[in-house]
Structure 1
Amino acid sequence: MIETLLSRTSVPKLMAPAPSPEQLEQIIQAAARAADHGRLRPWRFIVIEGLGLDSFGQLMVDSQRENNEVDDEFAAKLAKKPHRAPMIVAVVCSPKEHPKVPEIEQIISAGAAAQLMVTAAHAIGLGAMWRSGSLMFTETMARGLGLNDAESLVGLVYLGTAAGKSPRPQPLDSANYVSYYTG
């Protein structure tokens, strides 16, 4: 198990086949194991595949236009980005009103669910890449994905079969990231 965690890395180039329905179910079940104060399950997932990748590409273009002007060449390139994988799962934070669980904890929980998705994909032999960007946070994107006013997009998890060799994870010098509280 620890080897799975230590060997996971983002896989930017993915190809068919996409996760099978059974594999996708495993990935979703793993995501549901995210730390979740109050057991609120403050997330939901939108699977994008097949022809949905084309319309999602157009939604990306429209969302980018909300941020700034987009020329035809850039729009054509952006419209193809969903095809970097045969399946995308949009991870949505869907917060619940709760007197003891603030929204920030629920957003973090949805992020943890996304992380578990990419880890689960790796564990079952698939590739995954968690992508984001400013276009995720536009009104156009929220409307296009059917988010309600309280929801927010946490990330896009691209899933598929690794195309070629995956990059090797680089070891971390934990001394640069860890301190100890002594009171």
Structure 2
Amino acid sequence: MTAAEAMLRRRSQSRVTPDAPDTAEIVRLTEVAATMADYGSLRPWRLIELRGDARARLGAAFVEASSAEGKHAEKLAGKPLRASLLIAVVASRQENFKVHAWEQDIAAAGVGHALNLLLHEAGWGAMWRSGPLTRTDPVRRMHGLADNEELLGWLYVGGLTEKPSPDRKPAPVESLVTTLR
């Protein structure tokens, strides 16, 4: 399968089964994802696996960050339980006079997107999720982020529940590609 074919076949899987890849498989796939463009070879990122009770602690951090109550709090607390594995994608910025923070964020996001694609290719369902609670203090604390780190979101990972959709047709992008002369 070519990279283009893999990209056309990838779909976000909002519902997944409890099956999930083990840490060894995540490491193997991350080794490949880590070949993405990385200005200065800084590896300004890290991944955090959330399994088991860690997902419930993330739900509690969501509730704390939002000050939600009642049914809304219950729903929010349950969001991280939608998959048995969440992979937090963290930009771990490093001091570097040549490579700006935003360039390091791009490298971290590139690894996250590549891992999403590789998980799909390996037969797993995955969906990148983020949102307004991603950068709140309770969520930061729950992940143990350092001052130089920002959470970019989570890959929710599990087994596929449905037959894969047919390939996507490429989006019309002519108006988004311009030329300066």
- Could you state the TM-score of these two structures normalised by the residue count of structure 2? 0.92
Is 2:128 the counterpart of 1:134?
A: no
Corresponding residue number in structure 1 for 2:179: 180
Aligned counterparts of 2:71 and 2:169: Cα–Cα separation in 1: 35
Where in structure 1 do 4 or more consecutive aligned residues deviate above 4 Å? none
Asked if the contact 1:11–1:167 (Cα under 8 Å) also holds between the matched residues in 2, the reply is no
Corresponding residue number in structure 1 for 2:155: 157
Deviations 1:141-172 (A, max 9, x none): 11121111121001111111122234554531
Structure 1 counterpart SS, 2:87: strand
Corresponding residue number in structure 1 for 2:36: 34
Asked if the contact 1:26–1:120 (Cα under 8 Å) also holds between the matched residues in 2, the reply is no
Q: Give the deviation of 1:177 after TM superposition.
A: 2.2
The range that moved more, 52-61 or 87-96, is: 52-61
Aligned counterparts of 1:171 and 1:73: Cα–Cα separation in 2: 40
Aligned counterparts of 1:52 and 1:142: Cα–Cα separation in 2: 13
Aligned counterparts of 1:38 and 1:137: Cα–Cα separation in 2: 26
In the TM superposition, what are the counterparts of 1:1-183 in structure 2 within 5 Å?
Answer: 1=2, 2-65=4-67, 70-167=68-165, 169-181=168-180, 183=181
Aligned counterparts of 1:88 and 1:144: Cα–Cα separation in 2: 14
Q: Give the deviation of 1:8 after TM superposition.
A: 1.0
Aligned counterparts of 1:74 and 1:170: Cα–Cα separation in 2: 37
The range that moved more, 56-65 or 153-162, is: 56-65
Q: For residue 175 of structure 1, what is the amino acid of its counterpart?
A: E
Aligned counterparts of 2:164 and 2:60: Cα–Cα separation in 1: 29
Q: Give the deviation of 1:39 after TM superposition.
A: 0.2
Q: Give the deviation of 1:22 after TM superposition.
A: 3.2
Asked if the contact 1:10–1:167 (Cα under 8 Å) also holds between the matched residues in 2, the reply is no
Task: List gaps (5 residues or longer) in structure 1.
Answer: none
Aligned counterparts of 2:72 and 2:175: Cα–Cα separation in 1: 39
Deviations 1:45-100 (A, max 9, x none): 110012222222112211222xxxx1211010111111111100111111111111
> Given the superposition, is the C-alpha separation of residues 166 and 151 from structure 1 closer, same or farther in structure 2, using an over 3 Å criterion?
same
- After superposition, the CA RMSD in angstroms is 1.5
Percent of aligned pairs with the same residue?
A: 35
Count of aligned positions: 178
- Could you state the TM-score of these two structures normalised by the residue count of structure 1? 0.91
Task: List gaps (5 residues or longer) in structure 2.
Answer: none
